[in-house]
Amino acid sequence: MSRPYTLPLIIACALFMENMDATIIATSLPVIARDLGESPIALKLALTSYYVSLAVCLPASSWMADRFGSRTVFCWAIAVFMLGSALCGLSQQLDAFVAARFLQGMGGAMMMPVGRLVLLKTVDKRDLVQALSWLTFPALLGPVIGPPLGGFITTHFDWRWIFFVNLPIGLVGSVLAARLVPNIREAHPVPLDGWGLVLLGSGLSLLMLGLSTAGQHLLRWQTSAACALIGLALLGLYWRHARHRPHPALNWRFLDVPTYRAGVLGGWMFRIGVGATPFLMPLMLQLGFGLSPVTSGLLTCTSAAAAMFMKTLSTRILRRFGFRAVLCANVLIAAGTIACYGLFTPMTPLLAMALVLFTGGFFRSLQFTALNALVYADIDRSVMGPASTLPNVAQQLALSAGVTLSAYVLQATATLRGHALPEAGDFGVAFVVVGLCSASSYVWMRRLAPDAGAELAGRPASSPR
């Protein structure tokens, strides 16, 4: 088996574990909330803490891989993720659960970026789209297996076992990585921007903590406001600091490249709706519609099954129509399906819901594949490491923002309608709001040149006039 297939399949073992964990917990949120004695909306902290941890730790991942070797960092990342999973399963209170999820995120921050970096440094550009598709194909089994497995475990066993299942998967991934992932390192890695990492990490953590807890969950509103303001101030200090550093923790200079800018900023807006969906959908199906965790899990996994199917077609679609045409048309379709989720009612047939979820997963997967490849279309291989940091951080912050925004809208709608817990009619507004956020990505896709990413898509570039 050639390298474009071998390495992605090995690295995808870790991504499989990470993605399955994310979808399992989403399906089990209502049950976990009840067991911990918390509001279901408060469990947004379990999702946002993980995403914020990823964003905070991601900027150091490429430097660590260059300094200590990609295989070494990858294996240690799996070990940290497994430890966080075990602590999640042992948690008895919300604060301990959130802290364990943060630790999980620290491991996840090193797993996927380092694995993707190995591909970017070893696979030819003409094979990159295919390699990224193979990377995500086995990993998409996680979202397919995760929801029904999470529903089954939650219904028939203790929810804590949804985290313990990560342990054997992590052991298999560690063995494969130790044997087959190359230990790529740089002879002279760029200096670590330690002060920048402190400012950036503290600023992002405090800002997102303040925003996520502003709904009177875990912290008083005064404390939440103080955290958000201090976080903003620290991010402002980081901005000043980064302008005068040759190798900042996050290098904004890559945004001068049009394809990179569209992939990062446009992708950020699109992922807001995507990040909100795993939080809103299980709550709507279980709290609003009264479905069991098993039925909820079986429904939500249809979108992941559609994503797997799309992975077999994405390369041919991009080669046929090009990045710009695909991204512009597809973002409106994908965002439209997210908004359509809000039209579901307790009387909607399960088959109709499954078809809409399948359609949404199909087009969302195409958008992800195109965005993930486009961002590196015009980036030189020698700077792939620094260039990969900002897209990864932006992606996690977008997912966290999606959860936080949708929780605000859901809570506000429920409050205005006079009930403490969300009901079936409260979810429509939240889905429409996050769907519109995703649709706004069209503005960035429209600005792309007609031949953007032509080399990756295997299409001829336009001749200069």
User: How far is it, in rounded angstroms, from Cα 378 to Cα 125?
Assistant: 10
- Strand, coil or helix: 361: helix
Query: Which single residue is written with the structure tokens 């409050």?
Result: 415
Is the entire prediction scored with pTM above 0.85? no
pLDDT for res 465:
38
pLDDT for res 58:
80
Closest CA to 375 of 364, 388, 393: 388
User: How far is it, in rounded angstroms, from Cα 360 to Cα 333?
Assistant: 8
pLDDT for res 358:
92
- The alpha carbon of 192 is separated from its chain's Cα centroid by a whole number of angstroms, namely 25
Using N-to-C axis directions, what is the helix angle for 323-340 and 427-439, rounded to 10°? 170
What are the residues whose beta carbons fall under 8 Å from the beta carbon of 244, sequence distance 6 or more?
none
| Rounded mean pLDDT for each run of 10 residues along the chain, 465 residues in total | 58 76 82 86 85 83 79 88 92 90 88 73 67 64 79 86 88 81 72 84 86 70 85 89 81 85 90 89 90 88 81 81 88 93 92 92 88 82 75 86 89 85 87 94 88 67 48
User: How far is it, in rounded angstroms, from Cα 229 to Cα 238?
Assistant: 14
pLDDT for res 432:
94
Q: Look up residue 21 and give its two tokens.
A: 């964990």
Structure letter (DSSP) for residue 190: P
- Strand, coil or helix: 123: coil
For residue 282, count CB atoms less than 10 angstroms from its CB and return exposed for 0-12, middle for 13-18, buried for 19 or more.
buried
- The alpha carbon of 388 is separated from its chain's Cα centroid by a whole number of angstroms, namely 15
pLDDT for res 464:
43
User: How far is it, in rounded angstroms, from Cα 180 to Cα 171?
Assistant: 14
pLDDT for res 438:
93
How many other C-beta atoms lie within 10 A of the C-beta of residue 451? 16
User: How far is it, in rounded angstroms, from Cα 286 to Cα 304?
Assistant: 19
Q: Look up residue 224 and give its two tokens.
A: 């939440």
pLDDT for res 7:
67
Q: Look up residue 307 and give its two tokens.
A: 């994503």
Q: SS3 for the chain, per residue?
A: CCHHHHHHHHHHHHHHHHHHHHHHHHHHHHHHHHHHCCCHHHHHHHHHHHHHHHHHHHHHHHHHHHHHCHHHHHHHHHHHHHHHHHHHHHCCCHHHHHHHHHHHHHHHHHHHHHHHHHHHHHCCHHHHHHHHHHHHHHHCHHHHHHHHHHHHHHHHCCCCHHHHCHHHHHHHHHHHHHHHCCCCCCCCCCCCCHHHHHHHHHHHHHHHHHHHCCCCCCCCHHHHHHHHHHHHHHHHHHHHHHHCCCCCCCCHHHHHCHHHHHHHHHHHHHHHHHHHHHHHHHHHHHHHCCCCHHHHHHHHHHHHHHHHHHHCCHHHHHHHHCHHHHHHHHHHHHHHHHHHHHHCCCCCCHHHHHHHHHHHHHHHHHHHHHHHHHCCCCCCHHHHHHHHHHHHHHHHHHHHHHHHHHHHHHHHHHHHCCCCCCCHHHHHHHHHHHHHHHHCCHHHHHCCCCCCCHHHHCCCCCCCC
For residue 234, count CB atoms less than 10 angstroms from its CB and return exposed for 0-12, middle for 13-18, buried for 19 or more.
buried
What are the residues whose beta carbons fall under 8 Å from the beta carbon of 60, sequence distance 6 or more?
192, 197, 249
pLDDT for res 80:
93
- The alpha carbon of 433 is separated from its chain's Cα centroid by a whole number of angstroms, namely 19
